[in-house]
């Protein structure tokens, strides 16, 4: 296709790549997702693998998750899978849960929402993000409390985020016999979880009491479903009935050309949902794709809209990138479009304005990315500590007294539109206060070794190593190693200026 083809691209009929003319093999599709696709298909429904999974499989990459779309309605999906839970109040999606916390999301084909539906959809997304953040925050706050009590961190939660509300009831849940799968091969039987695993909040049932009935949902055709999506490369379908790839929007051409393009008119699309701007930059920087001209130009006109998005949703997007192994390139793209202040407030303003601060943060985030790509899962306080360090460092040196608290307050007054949860921020600023002390010690040779028993010492040790030696180090306490190499094997402690006199154990004899 000519790269100058104007938007919107509306093909009369889809481009269909038959099996054998594309590289998607069922071996590369998650086996539980295959079970879901096969069962829907066996019951006479259309069942497509959709979204990022098709894009990634066509590029030979490993998908982050597998989503399914079908013409079966949510209640029909629920009837087919005992392990399906309907989420969302109005735009109901089925989450089919499998062991190990895996979720296959199944949605019914939808058409482009009208304005009223769009507002409801955005509100629902924000509520979902807030709920997920609150659950993660609850788990994190509890871990912090336990760590404070025990004097040691709970290392079991090393991922950047707590469990999602849907995952929690999975722990220890037994697996019962599946529904009758007589029309599905045995090895494709989806493994159900007990009905009792459904969290009340996720079902959406019972919430309507006393409220006006909702407008019926506008389900759509596969074609309409493709056109309601964000990017052409994200709107490709893989049909389990024919093993073919179906393209209504020109996504195959854009994949081939290494190009990110908004479906339809970019101005309309960004106004409908400004988070799509973030997604354009994410996918372009992750895949090393160019951004189609109109898609790119419209960012300057609508970037400011990001600021008005719900903070929980922006935090969710930021967190996705922080965990992706690609946050450095994403930050570079965001800076090129002047977007850092739009979600990081004054912290972003500093990174936008100062080359020096930005180079530093890109170096630190690059180290985070390398660690994640190497299979590590740095704790969230390390990730956010690195993100904040170039902004925090000059402040920390100037603060007298309670440095973590002052830094916490400074971040809150920096007015970041992305809502970083309180307990995560507290952990990050405590870690950074220890880091600052460590760097001072490396400069003057004076170290308060009592810091070693602080819960966040190990994380601080790694960050200090990265800042001082350029690597996270390959032992548990790289800071100590650096300190010892610099100042000798015995750490020099700060001299006690006012030694308390010990009380004599034996009272002196009474005067004669
Ligand atoms: P990733 O690899 O990060 O999971 P993804 O494209 O699969 O990338 P998801 O957030 O999993 O992203 O979304 C799944 C699909 O839902 C997308 O591929 C896209 O088709 C659609 N989608 C997601 N967000 C939006 C949005 N804001 N507007 C329109 N469609 C969206
Ligand atoms: Mg995805």
Per-residue model confidence as pLDDT tens digits over 391-420: 999 999 888 889 999 999 999 999 999 999
Question: Atom of ligand 1 at shortest distance to CA of 235?
Answer: 20
Separation of CA 494 and ligand 2 centre (Å)? 53
Ligand having the closest approach to the CA of 283? 1
180 to 39, 128, 186, 191, 500: CA distances (angstroms): 11, 33, 10, 11, 78
Residue 5 — pLDDT band, cuts 50, 70, 90? low
* Residue 170 clears pLDDT 50, i.e. is over it: no
Residue 510 — pLDDT band, cuts 50, 70, 90? low
Separation of CA 66 and ligand 1 centre (Å)? 11
Distance CA 33, CA 56 (A): 15
* Residue 139 clears pLDDT 70, i.e. is over it: no
| Ligand 1 pocket check for 369: Cβ under 6 Å | no
* Residue 340 clears pLDDT 90, i.e. is over it: yes
191 closest CA partner among 69, 107, 104, 87: 104
Name the residue at shortest CA distance from atom 9 of ligand 1: 52
- Radius of gyration, alpha carbons of the chain: 27
Name the residue at shortest CA distance from atom 17 of ligand 1: 51
Structure tokens at 129: 């993000």
Long-range contacts of 285-289 (CB under 8 A, 24+ apart): 285/326, 285/329, 285/330, 285/332, 285/333, 286/324, 286/326, 286/329, 286/330, 287/59, 287/258, 287/260, 288/258, 289/233, 289/258, 289/259, 289/260
Structure tokens at 213: 């009935």
* Residue 186 clears pLDDT 80, i.e. is over it: no
Separation of CA 104 and ligand 1 centre (Å)? 14
Q: For residue 118, how far is the Cα from the chain centroid?
A: 23
Per-residue pLDDT at 150 = 39
Q: How high does pLDDT run on average in the chain?
A: 82
428 closest CA partner among 511, 338, 319: 319
Distance CA 94, CA 474 (A): 43
CB 339 within 8 A of CB 306: yes
Going from N- to C-terminal start, the domains of the chain cover 1-128+182-256, 258-309, 345-487
Per-residue pLDDT at 205 = 39
Per-residue pLDDT at 400 = 86
| Ligand 1 pocket check for 67: Cβ under 6 Å | yes
* Residue 103 clears pLDDT 80, i.e. is over it: yes
Name the residue at shortest CA distance from atom 18 of ligand 1: 51
The verdict on domain 1-128+182-256 having CATH code 3.30.460.10 is yes
Per-residue model confidence as pLDDT tens digits over 208-228: 556 656 666 789 999 999 999
Per-residue pLDDT at 68 = 98
Per-residue model confidence as pLDDT tens digits over 282-296: 999 999 999 999 999
Name the residue at shortest CA distance from atom 24 of ligand 1: 230
């Amino acid at each position: 296709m000519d790269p100058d083809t104007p938007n919107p691209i509306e093909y009369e009929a889809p481009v269909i790549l038959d099996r054998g003319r594309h590289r998607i093999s069922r071996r590369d599709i998650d086996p539980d997702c295959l079970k879901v696709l096969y069962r829907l298909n066996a019951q006479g429904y259309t069942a497509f693998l959709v979204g990022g999974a098709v894009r990634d499989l066509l590029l030979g990459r490993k998908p982050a998750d597998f989503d399914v779309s079908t013409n079966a309605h949510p209640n029909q999906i629920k009837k087919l899978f005992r392990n399906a839970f309907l989420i969302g109040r109005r735009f109901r999606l089925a989450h089919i849960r499998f062991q190990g916390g895996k979720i296959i999301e199944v949605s019914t084909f939808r058409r482009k929402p009208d304005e009223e539906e769009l507002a409801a959809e955005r509100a629902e997304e924000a509520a979902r993000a807030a709920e997920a953040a609150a659950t993660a925050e609850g788990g994190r706050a509890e871990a912090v409390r336990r760590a404070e009590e025990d004097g040691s961190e709970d290392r079991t939660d090393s991922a950047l985020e707590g469990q999602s509300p849907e995952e929690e009831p999975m722990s220890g849940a037994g697996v019962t016999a599946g529904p009758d799968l007589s029309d599905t091969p045995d090895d494709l039987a989806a493994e159900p979880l007990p009905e009792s695993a459904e969290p009340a909040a996720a079902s959406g049932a019972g919430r309507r009491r006393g409220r006006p009935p909702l407008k019926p949902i506008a389900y759509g055709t596969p074609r309409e479903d493709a056109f309601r999506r964000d990017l052409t490369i994200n709107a490709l379908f893989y049909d389990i009935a024919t093993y073919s790839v179906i393209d209504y929007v020109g996504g195959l051409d854009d994949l081939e050309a290494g190009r990110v393009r908004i479906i339809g008119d970019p101005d309309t699309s960004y106004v409908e949902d400004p988070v799509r701007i973030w997604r354009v930059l994410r996918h372009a920087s992750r895949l090393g794709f160019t951004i189609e001209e109109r898609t790119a130009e419209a960012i300057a006109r609508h970037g400011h809209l990001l600021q008005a998005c719900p903070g929980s949703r922006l935090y969710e997007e930021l967190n996705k990138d922080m965990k992706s192994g690609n946050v450095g390139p994403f930050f570079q793209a965001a800076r090129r479009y002047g977007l850092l202040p739009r979600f990081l407030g004054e912290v972003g303003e500093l990174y936008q304005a100062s080359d020096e601060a930005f180079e530093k943060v890109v170096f630190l985030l690059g180290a985070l990315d390398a660690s994640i790509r190497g299979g590590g899962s740095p704790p969230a306080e390390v990730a956010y500590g690195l993100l904040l360090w170039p902004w925090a460092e000059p402040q920390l040196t100037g603060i007298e007294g309670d440095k973590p608290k002052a830094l916490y307050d400074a971040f809150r007054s920096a007015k970041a539109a992305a809502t970083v949860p309180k307990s995560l921020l507290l952990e990050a600023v405590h870690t950074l206060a220890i880091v600052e002390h460590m760097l001072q010690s490396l400069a003057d040779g004076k170290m308060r070794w009592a810091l070693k028993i602080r819960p966040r010492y190990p994380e601080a040790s790694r960050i200090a190593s990265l800042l001082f030696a350029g690597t996270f180090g390959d032992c548990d306490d790289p800071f100590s190693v650096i300190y010892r190499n610099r100042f000798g094997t015995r750490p020099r402690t700060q001299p006690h200026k006012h030694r308390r006199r010990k009380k004599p154990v034996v009272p002196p004899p009474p005067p004669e």
